[in-house]
Amino acid sequence: MGNLTEMELQNLRHLLLFSETDMEKYKAYADSAQDPSVKQFFQKECQSAAQKKQTLLQFLR
């Protein structure tokens, strides 16, 4: 990866924060869901947000 500009780093930090927030929300929703299909949906969304975060972190390496 090439060097990132300050603006790109700032945007990346925001995206990482949003992904972390999404993970926390989806986990809370899954934990409180009574319906198994709803629980499974939010668990998958949490995993997706975690994968997105890992992808974004690769730009910092």
| Contacts of residue 27, Cβ cutoff 8 Å, sequence gap at least 6 | 42, 46
- Tell whether 55 is covered by a domain: yes
| Residue from 60, 42, 39, 61 nearest 50 by CA | 42
- Tell whether 11 is covered by a domain: no
Model confidence, pTM: 0.84
- Tell whether 27 is covered by a domain: no
- Tell whether 44 is covered by a domain: yes
- Tell whether 41 is covered by a domain: yes
- Tell whether 12 is covered by a domain: no
- pLDDT tens, position by position, 6-23: 999 999 999 999 999 999
**What is the per-residue pLDDT for 4?**
84
| Containing structural domain, residue 57 | 36-61
> How many structural domains compose the chain?
1
**What is the per-residue pLDDT for 2?**
67
- Tell whether 24 is covered by a domain: no
